[in-house]
Amino acid sequence: MRVLICEDSVLLREGLVRLLVHSGHEVVIDLPEASGLMEFLDSASEEQFPQICILDVRLPPTYTDEGIRAALQVRKKYPDLPVLVLSQYVEERYASELISTQSGAIGYLLKDRVADVSEFIASLEQIAAGGTILDQEVVAQLLTRRNHDDRMQRLTDRERTVLGALAEGKSNQAIAALLFLSEASVEKYITSIFQKLGLEADGTGNRRVLAALAHIETLGTTRTDRTGS
């Protein structure tokens, strides 16, 4: 798998390069800032073009939102290119911006996850294959933040647990093992969740959860904008 890395920390960047190469992947380029990202993508040959991009949320020169803006730009111009965003802390607004695009494979993980090598590589490969993975801390904060939403209040505690696990990229089988349920029970919970959220259960698992979280977040942002708070 060909990987592009955009990370300003020399130690983390070099660590990612070594980790990926050791795992059998190819790092086509590692950039210390976002300024050269689009130029590289626009000029890359088929052999150089990455199969996934890893970007830090905060990059030079201001260390505020350069990384996330670059990720959004990539998703707009290259919607089929998977993107994994790394963040030191949970940045709800940035996570919401990525989720709301609802196109292409996406991942939002805290940098602590990189420490678990096997889990990180598995997550990276799942995103590159078209999956969607949100860090469990991001999921928890988004769900908690939107608990006041009428639709979220319709969910039982068990349904919220299942929804959070789905958003983390877990399969029905993995959720069943985690919660000591049968897969049939998990499927019933998922059907119930999306009925209560007013979303059609179309069998696309992670994508439906991603759309649900995006819709909930968008409604909350709209309300905030109107009230000016």
Q: Where are the beta strands (DSSP E) in the chain?
A: 2-6, 26-31, 52-56, 83-87, 106-110, 132-134
Whether the Cβ atoms of residue 205 and residue 214 lie closer than 8 Å to each other: no
Least confident of 44-58, 125-139, 209-223: 209-223
**Dihedral (CA of 196, 200, 202, 207) sign:** negative
Q: Which residue has the higher pLDDT, 123 or 197?
A: 123
Confidence band for 212, pLDDT divided at 50, 70 and 90: low
- AA letter at 196: K
Q: Which residue has the higher pLDDT, 195 or 177?
A: 177
pLDDT digits 0-9 by tens, 148-160: 556 677 889 898 8
User: For the CA atoms of 37, 43, 44, 45, what is the dihedral angle to 10 degrees?
Assistant: 170
Domains recognised in the chain with CATH numbers: 1-134 (3.40.50.2300), 146-229 (1.10.10.10)
Residue 70: pLDDT above 80?
yes
pTM: 0.75
Residue 108: pLDDT above 50?
yes
